[in-house]
């Protein structure tokens, strides 16, 4: 049976890149009847790489991220939703996997290379991909829906599974498949200010991203200020016109239209007219999310209960798998 697994960091309010690159697929995948319930994890241990020393903020962001996932449409009756730090097996398996992985491999990770320029280059930030491998392999996941910035990390998880299987002469670890957004999806939503960089929660400029929580007036000023170029037509040419192409991709993804359909729809229109249409579309889509988010945030008990139920379900699977992993590696609980 197929098992979907993915995670999101509670490092800030999710933006439309998180939604279009990953969450939209998460929601679609929870309706696959022939598969086991998908597992979606609030990866707070990963967020500690940037939020160390801010316990109150991390706790609050974890609640808000859970509410965001529910407001986007994740259904705890169909999906297992839990907090990474509530299951200690993740860090235990990360250690086991790090003992069969060379440090050189981690040094070649693109995210590490780019993040060490802007973050404190801690050991946690360096070994973060190992924890991500553990997240995936612990649940013997077969399908991992993520944005394309995670392709290299997923490749590492696949290689690590193979190394584990070779080392311990087993086929226990599954080689997970990457699931990227479909044709009308946006695998990588770019920054509105620097369209060659990906949209990110941690970018200093609020104008670089649209958060799912942004009010209409904020969305308007961010879209109108989005960097395009000195041509006024609407086209998709990411190499030469990255700014406008990013907006076309966002429009297509939110309206479930292909790039060609969007370009046809706006043939003969200016980029300003297109920006207004994109703004209208985003306002409509974000309104539904925001109303639901407000409603959910009024009941913190419900959010905590979702995480607790998810923890119990995830623990059952993790416990069973971890017992076998410990047995294979010569370790044990007792």
* Nearest-angstrom CA–CA distance, 179 and 182: 9
- Sole binder of ligand AQP in the list 83, 198, 241, 279 (CB under 6 A): 198
Q: Report if residue 222 touches ligand AQP, rule: CB under 6 A.
A: no
In this structure, the number of other CB atoms found within 10 A of the CB of residue 53 comes to: 7
**Burial bucket for residue 172 (CB in 10 Å: 0-12, 13-18, 19+):** middle
CB of 153 to ligand AQP, least distance (A): 9
CB of 230 to ligand AQP, least distance (A): 25
Q: Report if residue 200 touches ligand AQP, rule: CB under 6 A.
A: yes
Q: Report if residue 150 touches ligand AQP, rule: CB under 6 A.
A: yes
Q: 3-state SS string over 143-199? A: EEECCHHHHHHHHHHHHHHHHHHHHCCCCCCCCCEEECCCCCCCCCCECCCCCCCEC
* Nearest-angstrom CA–CA distance, 112 and 175: 23
Q: Do the beta carbons of residue 259 and residue 252 sit within 8 Å? A: yes
Pattern 43-82, ligand AQP, x by CB under 6 A = ----------------------------------------
Q: Report if residue 90 touches ligand AQP, rule: CB under 6 A.
A: no
Count Cα atoms within 13 angstroms, Cβ side, for 183: 6
Q: Report if residue 199 touches ligand AQP, rule: CB under 6 A.
A: yes
Pattern 163-192, ligand AQP, x by CB under 6 A = -------------------------xx---
CB of 330 to ligand AQP, least distance (A): 33
Nearer to ligand AQP, 56 or 230 (CB): 56
Pattern 10-49, ligand AQP, x by CB under 6 A = -x-----xx--xx---------------------------
Only one of the segments 6-14, 74-82, 96-104, 297-305 lies at the binding site for ligand AQP (rule: CB under 6 A); that segment is 6-14
Q: Which two tokens stand for residue 141?
A: 């996941």
Residues lying near ligand AQP in the complex (CB under 6 A) are found at 7-9, 11, 17-18, 21-22, 146-147, 149-150, 188-189, 198-202
């Amino acid at each position: 049976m197929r098992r979907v697994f993915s995670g999101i960091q509670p490092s800030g309010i999710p933006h439309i890149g998180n939604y279009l690159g990953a969450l939209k697929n998460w929601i679609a995948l929870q309706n696959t009847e022939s598969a086991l319930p998908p597992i979606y994890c609030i990866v707070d241990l990963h967020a500690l790489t940037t939020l160390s020393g801010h316990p109150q903020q991390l706790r609050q962001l974890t609640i808000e991220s859970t509410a965001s996932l529910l407001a986007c449409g994740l259904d705890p009756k169909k999906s297992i939703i839990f907090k990474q730090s509530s299951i200690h097996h993740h860090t235990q398996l990360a250690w086991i996997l790090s003992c069969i992985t060379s440090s050189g491999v981690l040094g070649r990770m693109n995210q590490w290379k780019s993040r060490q320029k802007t973050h404190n280059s801690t050991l946690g930030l360096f070994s973060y991909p190992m924890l991500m491998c553990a997240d995936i392999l612990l649940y013997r996941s077969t399908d991992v829906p993520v944005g394309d910035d995670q392709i290299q990390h997923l490749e590492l998880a696949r290689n690590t599974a193979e190394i584990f299987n070779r080392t311990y002469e087993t086929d226990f670890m599954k080689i997970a498949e990457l699931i990227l957004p479909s044709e009308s999806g946006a695998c990588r939503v770019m920054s509105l200010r620097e369209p060659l960089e990906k949209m990110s929660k941690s970018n200093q400029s609020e104008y670089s991203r649209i958060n799912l929580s942004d009010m209409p007036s904020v969305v308007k000023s961010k879209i109108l200020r989005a960097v395009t170029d000195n041509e006024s037509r609407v086209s998709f040419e990411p190499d030469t016109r990255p700014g406008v192409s990013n907006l076309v991709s966002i429009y297509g993804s939110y309206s479930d239209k292909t790039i060609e359909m969007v370009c046809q729809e706006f043939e003969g229109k200016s980029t300003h007219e297109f920006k207004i249409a994109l703004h209208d579309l985003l306002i409509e889509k974000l309104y539904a999310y925001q109303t639901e988010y407000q409603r959910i945030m009024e009941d913190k008990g419900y959010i905590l209960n979702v995480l607790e139920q998810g923890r119990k379900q995830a623990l059952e699977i993790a416990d069973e798998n971890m017992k076998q992993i410990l047995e294979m590696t010569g370790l044990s609980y007792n």
